[in-house]
Amino acid sequence: MVKWLGVAGLMFSTLTASPLVLSDPVRINGGEFEPPVLLDKERLSIEINSFMLDATPVTNQLFLDFVKSHPKWQRDNIAALFHDGNYLKHWPQNNAYPDGQADHPVTYVSWFAAREYCAAKGGRLPSLNEWEYASVQYRQQQNISDDDYARNLFAWYSQPKSDEQRVNVNATELSHMYDRVNEWVEDYQLLLTNGDDVDLLSGSCGDGARFLSSFTKANYATFFRYQSRSDYAPQSSTSTMGFRCAYDISSDTIASNGDQL
């Protein structure tokens, strides 16, 4: 499995021909996904197409490479509209991250900046459903029980600062989905405040059960991730928000790789 993912990732990175991609994105095979949080009560099951996803959150080094080649996304140059004043605030200089943190996930990045980075890589932010679908596969790969997943997720939220923030930039399988940063997704505001179709109670009075396909600890934990992130502004740049990118798989890639969608 791991090896196969690596092959797919290699093919992809040669196709994009980006010198900045250090680790290969991994292929997430599409399939049926039963969302733990029912954003649409009529859709108990969703079809997810195959896609590629960065194995780890984007690191300081990668983001530095990006801002060097895209000066308007440097801290001194970023448009006020795209951040909350704290963009890359932990970097000592406009073009330097803190010593020894090359392989730490980049934080203090707004949703706008994360999107721009991914677009520059020929990708995009994963959708909420894609990220959660990958998360379920990650739990299976890592053999994380539902109870441990829930417990660890709430533990991370109650104390997100860990001494260990490094990620393995050469990872060949999904890594650090829960234990480093909270990650932006494309449609992160879906549940609460986006558009006209906002739920009346918005889950804000502790009525999570209405939204869950079944009231399990794991689903409740996932619901908490949806909701707490949904309360951020797209300009929010905090010490715990990072991201990873997703990439569409072109039909050429699929044909040459011989895989099914």
Interface ranges with another protein (CB under 8 A): 84-86, 147, 150-151, 154-155, 157-161, 202-206, 208, 217, 220-221, 223-224, 227-228, 231-233, 236, 238-241
Provide long-range contacts, Cβ within 8 A and 24+ apart, for 4-12. Answer: 5/172, 5/173, 6/172, 8/52, 8/257, 8/259, 9/52, 9/55, 9/172, 11/253, 11/256, 11/257, 12/52, 12/247, 12/249, 12/253
Q: Write down the least CB distance from residue 107 to another protein, Å.
A: 9
Give the residue ranges of DSSP H helices in the chain: 2-16, 60-69, 111-120, 128-142, 146-158, 217-230, 251-257
CB 189 within 8 A of CB 111: no
Contacts of 102 (CB under 8 A, 6+ apart): 59, 60, 61
Q: Write down the least CB distance from residue 154 to another protein, Å.
A: 4
Residue closer to another protein (CB basis): 142 or 202: 202
Give the residue ranges of DSSP H helices in 22-180: 60-69, 111-120, 128-142, 146-158
For CA atoms 223, 224, 227, 233, the dihedral sign is negative
Residue closer to another protein (CB basis): 170 or 228: 228
CB 82 within 8 A of CB 75: no
Q: Write down the least CB distance from residue 207 to another protein, Å.
A: 9
Q: Write down the least CB distance from residue 17 to another protein, Å.
A: 37
Residue closer to another protein (CB basis): 172 or 182: 182
Residue closer to another protein (CB basis): 143 or 159: 159
Q: Write down the least CB distance from residue 131 to another protein, Å.
A: 19
Residue closer to another protein (CB basis): 147 or 248: 147
Residue closer to another protein (CB basis): 55 or 190: 190
Q: Write down the least CB distance from residue 160 to another protein, Å.
A: 6
Residue closer to another protein (CB basis): 61 or 152: 152
CB neighbours (10 Å) of residue 169? Answer: 15
Q: Write down the least CB distance from residue 23 to another protein, Å.
A: 27
